[in-house]
Structure 1
Amino acid sequence: MYINASLQAKLENSERMLKALLNNLDGMVYCCLWDDRWTMVFVSDGCKQLTGYDAHSLVSDPAISFEAITSPEDRGRVRQAIEEAIFRRQRFAVEYRIIHADGGTRWVSERGCPLYNERGEVEAIEGFMQDITQRRLSEAAAREAEERYRSIFENALEGIYQTSPDGHYLNFNPALARIYGYESAVELILGICDIQKQLYVDPFKREEFVALMSAQGQVSNFEAQVYRKNGEIIWISENAHEVRNQNGDLLFYEGTVEDITERKNYEQQIEYQATHDALTGLPNRTLLTDRLQQYIGLADRYASKVAVAFVDLDQFKLINDSMGHHAGDELLKIMATRLGGCVRESDTVVRLGGDEFVLLLTGLHKIEDISESMQRVLSSVAGPCAIEGRDFIVSCSIGISIYPDDARDTTTLLKYADSAMYKSKQSGRNNFQFYTDELNRRLMERLDMEYRLRQALEHDEFLLHFQPKLAFASGNICGAEALIRWRPAGGGMVSPADFIPVAEETGLIVDIGQWVLHSACRQAVRLNAMAGRELPIAVNVSPRQFRQSDLVSRVRSALQHSGLNPACLELEITESSLVHDTGSFIKTLQELKTLGVKLAIDDFGTGYSSMAYLKDFPVDRLKIDQAFVSRLETESSNIAILKAIIALGHSLNMKVIAEGVETAYQQAFLHGIGCDELQGYFFSKPLPVEAFEKLLGD
């Protein structure tokens, strides 16, 4: 009896635990017959919460069957699903709707299995049901949202995209393809494989985009120019963000694209109208200060100068008043075009208003650059202007201030240029004046020298001096260099250091060099006859002369007219001639060599010679620049340079001559390291022809 009682207690306790467990489940445990009504034989207390009916009613009340509370739309589907599972002798799972006791609809998830009798026939079904209404509502909302997003994605006017960090499209909508000029998504995928190289006009824009993403995780209103399929360039604006996984790894970029070309064009048009003169199309006063400030920044960076030239038309008011504003406007447009043609692309022409203009000239290094530009302006403005069948001639007055010489701020520079312009008016108009007296004085001196140089050839004011060359081996004079000197009528000698640069800049060096060449050849014939031997005479050829296409014919002409043996003429060419065109340089040297003349590279070691080309030069001599010789006693590093130049020259079968030898030490040292010839004050300064003849006769 004791064991039976204990067993009975355990059974009762287990039953209570099972009942408590079933009642605490969030759902309903059931067992129903395999019939047309799904007649319930057992349901747990979860029935009430799930269906609204208590367990007793659902089991005992014949008016309430589970078939009846199953939604009519789902009854057939549910029974078919369960029958198929039973036929396959499997468990089943199905989701469907029921009619709650309150009249509402609930979604349930049912999982169960059949119960078989001893004959293997299905007698009942047992299973478990849960309320999944909230889940199904959430899924429906998600599907609806997805459909809405898909509709927005497909029909949006903005381009929507996902791209990989390395610049490949992963997904995008039709609008993006249309923005970029492609007819379909497939065509866009095939057409753009690398966004950075194929899409952005400026490839660095993609790098900027990625950098912003890395720093901020997003970009807003990122504007850039891109290529459409047909090559057209448009403006776009992008808003995008990073998409990362749960581990924080970057998956892709996601964003939108808007075509803002029309807006940018409108903004540019508005900006242009705000910063440019409506009549002439030139930048106006609004842009002047900004542009001048940019030029000042460049001047500071590159140690150059900026010129501000204030230009005022002299006779404009008379024409405007007598002929009317239409004629005045036409004149202003003509002048705007002429002024633009007088400056470089890097410069700026501004119309302040009325007949006032400002020229901003940048990247300048010397006053001569400015004066030449102003001479062009004066000449161009003064040309006849055909307006309404009549020719008008106007002039202009120009005032110039210089940055940083005169001032370091834009306001003061403009004020000073305006002040200098009034000085130009007071000086008789049709001229230009610098703000500073010193610059004006230098300009006048240069203009005066240019004028006198032009007269010097006509008035026979040039003469030649000859500086002997000495051979180390024999100690005898082995040649001479013809050097030009200028002695104006009624004045003293003018240093070549003063007038040669002006001759180079103005182009007068070509005619002056021709005079030197012919004179040197004639005097060489006379010197050789007097000395009784052939003595080579060297003549300098300036870079500007060397670039003349008829240089070879000029040399040939000088030789023929003088009767000089070509071997007695040596042309000294500076290394700076090489910088313009190496191929043409070598070709000209070869043509000169064909004439039979000697060739020398002057100032060797300071110019642009390349060892790769030197071996191709048909040159007889290298002249060591005096800068290496003059500092021989004080700069020991020059010793290695001199030795290297001499060794190089000898290896190429060239003689090496040192110029600027002034001391016995320099002479002895050069002799000791194998230099062939010397030239300099240690032996003789440049001499007038009479003194040189006397030296040869001693």
Structure 2
Amino acid sequence: MSSAMLREVVSEDHLDGLDELRYQLLRISTSGELDDDQRELLKRALEAASILDDFPEYFYIKDRRSRYVYVNAATAAASSSYANGGMLGTTIFDHIRLEKAEEIFMLEQQLMSVGTGVVEREEFIEVLDRDPVWLLTTKTPLHNAAGEVIGLIGVSRDITERKRQEELRRCHATLLEMIARGQPLPKVLDALTHLVEQQLSDVCASVLLIEEGSDRLRHGAAPSLPDTYVKLIDGIEIGPRTGSCGTAAWRQSRVVVSDIENDPLWHSFADLALVFGFRACWSNPIMAPDGEVLGTVALYARTVREPTAVELELMAVATDIAGIAIERARSEERIRHMAHHDALTGLPNRALFWTQFNRVLLEAKRTKAKVTVAYIDLDNFKQINDRFGHAAGDEVLKVLAGRMAACVRASDLLVRLGGDEFAIVFPNSFQDEPGIVRRLQELRMAVSSPVTVEDHTIRPSCSMGAAFFPQDGDTPEALLASADRAMYEAKELGRDRLRVSHSLLMDGSGI
């Protein structure tokens, strides 16, 4: 093999990259046709630091005892020594953790014992003096002129970033699958923040969610933040100087605070963060397609510093996934709400009514509590539709539903049964009938107040029937039927009045 051939092997003008160089070097080293002079040329080529030192990949030669006899500059720089000579005579045991060093040593010895072949493998290496790396390594035996194995040639490429991207894509797919399968939002966000923290070192990830109907951020996920800190920032207001997250939501753009202690955005909150050791915080707003702010994704660091490019990239990915998860959860909640609520009034519908009514009765039977059911029917509502139109009738229904909702407690169940009919279930209701009557009459009077629609004043009224558990029935169906019968008795008596299932009480004139 001529010097010209070797120059062709290592010349950048004739290479298609590292793979071609690796192939040519291995082809030369394993050729059975090389004489001593050609071997010497190969050795000189490998030792030509002016050529190989330009490559970021790791080139090295080891002897039969797996000791380094040549390393290029990239290999030396990756160790604790920065001069090529510093690694010569050392072994893999001097540079990486013992368990992995033993594995690599045994594989090299096996390769040299066989004396032929090429070994290529991906290896996760925990280096003693720097961060772990993934390497794609190719090794082949090196022979002398007599054909005896005198060592091996190795070429390693750092594929840490490639493996990180592969893991990121895998986790990305897993999270999207969780979202597609309808996993609960807290579970998705918890998995997301764990992913971020696994990919990065020395940071804590956090997701805050906008509280619907307010300008506050609520806890979403933060697996590594101290519980006390999470509780203290839960409910933080959105504003122009409310830390990284509150400000990011306010500005609707990324906020990078590299020094919490001295940044004016953290003036009112710095002491809180510093107590827990946080020195920097970077936050992205989570935006809906329509421009609505859904929350924030943040990374906390314990040193004063700017985020790295990798950290910013991962924040962007996490922000996108969080946005998808939140939008999906909101869409599912809207669908559930539509399935169980009346589209016109927003009140629970029949389907939800029966489910919750059954639950109320089961609890009442267990605790021996009383339950009151009221059936409400608007009087002469057809005349309102006929005279003023269905749009006006719908507006009246919405107004009256709002009035009734204002008269009941959060624990009460108010539903629209359909048309102009409503029902109310009062769990743990008053112990005496006069108390029940007073409350229902207050509700009836609220319904009877005039309603103005499109410059028309409409004076509605309603007939009401009431039934009691356990006197009038012990099932939802039986109780509602009793209340319905009482309501029709009220209509027969002249409308605009309340009728109780087992005794007649009150007309429209009051108690």
When normalised by structure 2's length, the TM-score is 0.48
Q: Which has the higher contact order (CA 8 A, sep 6+)?
A: 2
For the pair shown, which has the larger CA radius of gyration, 1 or 2?
A: 1
What's the TM-score once normalised by structure 1's chain length? 0.36
